[in-house]
Amino acid sequence: MCLLIIDAAQMAIPQFMRRAINLISLGDFRWIQVGLLSLAMIGSMAVICLGRFLWRYFIHGSSRRIEAEMRSRLFEHLLTLSYDFYQENKIGDLMARATNDLGQVRMAIGWGLVALIDGTVMVTAILIITFLQNARAALFAILPLPPITLLILFFGRVIGKRFRRVNEAYSAMSDTVQETFAGIRVVKSFVKEWWFIGKFAGTNDDYRSANMALVKLYGVFFPFISFLSGLTSVILIFIGGIQVIEGAMMPGDLAALFAYFQMLIWPLMGAGFMVNMIQRGAASLGRVNEVMDRKPSIVSPAAPVRPQPDAAFPLVEIRNLRFGYPGGKDVLEDISLTINSGTTMGILGRTGSGKSTLLKTLTRMVDPPPGTVFVKGVPVADWDLGELRSLFGVTPQDSYLFSDSIKHNIRYGIARREPALESIADQKEEALVFRAAGISALDQDLGSFAAGWDTLIGERGLTLSGGQKQRVAISRAVIGSPEILILDDSLSAVDAETEKRVLTSLLTERRGKTTIIISHRVSTLRNADFVVVLDQGRISESGSPRELAALGGFYARMAALQQLEQPGLEQPGLEQPGQEERGGHG
């Protein structure tokens, strides 16, 4: 509405000019007439001034809100996508789509809309007014307009292709920056700053080159449109000047026509801007929609199945599981396994034997074949995804921590399972955090943290040691008392004494609950109820630690080798005197 009002006010000003100049040229006028026309022009300019503020407020404000909503939608959608999506797409590229690309969409919505309305309304109105006022002069003056239209259509296609290349170059540069800073420890450890500087310089030059290709196109496009638009003024002065000399046109009429055709230059330029911004926005929106159109590969079923409360099913059952990642050979072959409730199970195996993949099938981080993996008697594919994963507390191998305080990193384990506990009293919250930290033996390091549990740990736990990061991750996993706790090689960075304390606390606190421990050290598994040994994706050995130690297989060899490396430890795999065999079997 404000744009339309402004356009109407702009259309009126040349008419006031025409009447004033005609009055003055005739010489028979009163100053009050010119004064009233001048006041009308000033009033029109005031309306234009206010209207321009208002349309900027409304249109650009709306485009900003649309951008914010689209960014929120994109972020929410990204969180629904499955693990495999993030293996295929780089984080820097996704960040570029959420920032740079959505910024271009905003420009297309805001300035593109302005240019479209101005172009449509003003061009139509100016052509109607000028043809009604003097058809012959207007007809000659619009001769340069058809070539401008053809240029806009031609350059619009080329601009779209080149701008997509700009966006792709920006994504590559962003990804280089993100990877470099995320791996800054490695960069500095290997003194490879010079290599990454060169790599960034290459992507930066690619981005510059892509932009320059676009700028060169603009360098031809807009000046040429300005030149053709300027020809209308030349033609009008020549044709209209002759008519004024011959008395066929009043000087005010020529001035009004000249003003209208000068006003016509902006809509024509605006059409170029509009094509430019819409092509940019279309290219950017296409990149955003590539992500928005991607469906998660792992979702909850339409009608989730709940386990029967009193059914006599094992807690976890795996039947003849065979699994491989797309494009690769099978990682797991013929895995059959039963885990009863309240059992502590250990998994041992060489690197790449499929240990972590086996546990990912339980939480559906990867999707196992139908009818192979069951939790509480229900196939994992039939569970509601959130409900299934809420049964588990997982500490992954990389022990990822957020750039927040130690306390809040631990509290993520509460928020994920029990949102109502977000508002619990601070005293109870501190007690829960301290209890979880005690289980992971993190409390023994409290004195080394500058601000206690409120110490900020930096991005990815930059300020913590490897062992401290692992124990924060364990605290996060146990604070919500999950029914099934999975420790994926989560004690590899701690010393033997701390490891013993953590395991003792875990088994004591989690008596009656299920714990699954992956480890390369048999000392970590010595108190497990049973241990499964994986070799090239198959179960090669299974049994209690005592049984496996007596078999003379991989478990026994690893136990003997690690006993030689650390002779002060108890013999791994052998229960201490008085220790009872606990339930559970593989």
What does the domain layout of the chain look like in residue ranges? Answer: 2-292, 328-391+483-586, 400-480
Q: How confident is the model at residue 235 (pLDDT cuts 50, 70, 90)?
A: confident
Helices (H), 246-320: 251-292
Q: Taking a C-beta distance cutoff of 8 angstroms, is the pair 300, 385 a contact? A: yes
Residues 6 or more apart in contact with residue 96 via CB below 8 angstroms: 167, 170, 171, 174, 175
Query: Could you give the CA distance from residue 180 to residue 186 in angstroms, rounded to a whole number?
Result: 9
Q: How confident is the model at residue 416 (pLDDT cuts 50, 70, 90)?
A: very low
Helices (H), 293-364: 355-362
At 282 the pLDDT is 86
Query: Could you give the CA distance from residue 309 to residue 295 in angstroms, rounded to a whole number?
Result: 33
More confident position, 481 or 289:
289
Query: Is 574 a residue whose pLDDT tops 60?
Result: no
Q: What is the mean pLDDT of residues 101-116?
A: 86
Q: Which amino acid is at 44?
A: S
At 421 the pLDDT is 46
At 577 the pLDDT is 35
In percent, the amount of the chain with pLDDT more than 70 equals: 91
- In the chain, count H helices and then E strands: 19, 10
Report the Cα–Cα distance between both ends of the chain, in Å, rounded. Answer: 74
**CATH no., domain 328-391+483-586:** 3.40.50.300
Which of 23-37, 427-441, 472-486: highest mean pLDDT? 472-486
Rounded to 10 deg, the angle between the 2-26 and 31-55 helix axes is: 160
Helices (H), 293-344: none
For residue 533, give the 3-state DSSP assignment.
strand
Dihedral sign from CA coordinates of 348, 350, 352, 353 = negative
Q: Please state, in angstroms and as integers, the Cα–Cα distance from residue 481 to each residue in 398, 418, 498, 500, 576, following that order.
A: 21, 11, 21, 20, 28
Task: Read off the pLDDT of residues 487-540 as tens digits, 9 standing for 90 and up.
Answer: 988 888 888 888 888 888 888 888 888 999 998 888 888 889 999 999 888 999
Query: Is 45 a residue whose pLDDT tops 90?
Result: yes
Beta bridge partner(s), residue 379: 374
Nearest to 144 by CA among 257, 229, 224, 220: 229
Q: What is the mean pLDDT of residues 306-330?
A: 85
Residues 6 or more apart in contact with residue 48 via CB below 8 angstroms: 6, 9, 10
Q: Please state, in angstroms and as integers, the Cα–Cα distance from residue 74 to each residue in 255, 300, 473, following that order.
A: 53, 20, 28
Q: How confident is the model at residue 581 (pLDDT cuts 50, 70, 90)?
A: very low
Fold (topology level) of 2-292 = ABC transporter transmembrane region fold (1.20.1560)
Same fold, 2-292 and 328-391+483-586: no
Rounded to 10 deg, the angle between the 2-26 and 102-133 helix axes is: 30
Nearest to 282 by CA among 157, 169, 175: 157
| Domain spanning 400-480, CATH class | alpha beta
Measured CA angle at 469 (ends 466, 473), to 5 deg: 140
At 307 the pLDDT is 86
At 567 the pLDDT is 54
Query: What Rg, from alpha-carbon coordinates, does the chain have?
Result: 36
Beta bridge partner(s), residue 535: 538
Q: What is the mean pLDDT of residues 362-389?
A: 91
Query: Could you give the CA distance from residue 419 to residue 421 in angstroms, rounded to a whole number?
Result: 5
Q: How confident is the model at residue 224 (pLDDT cuts 50, 70, 90)?
A: confident
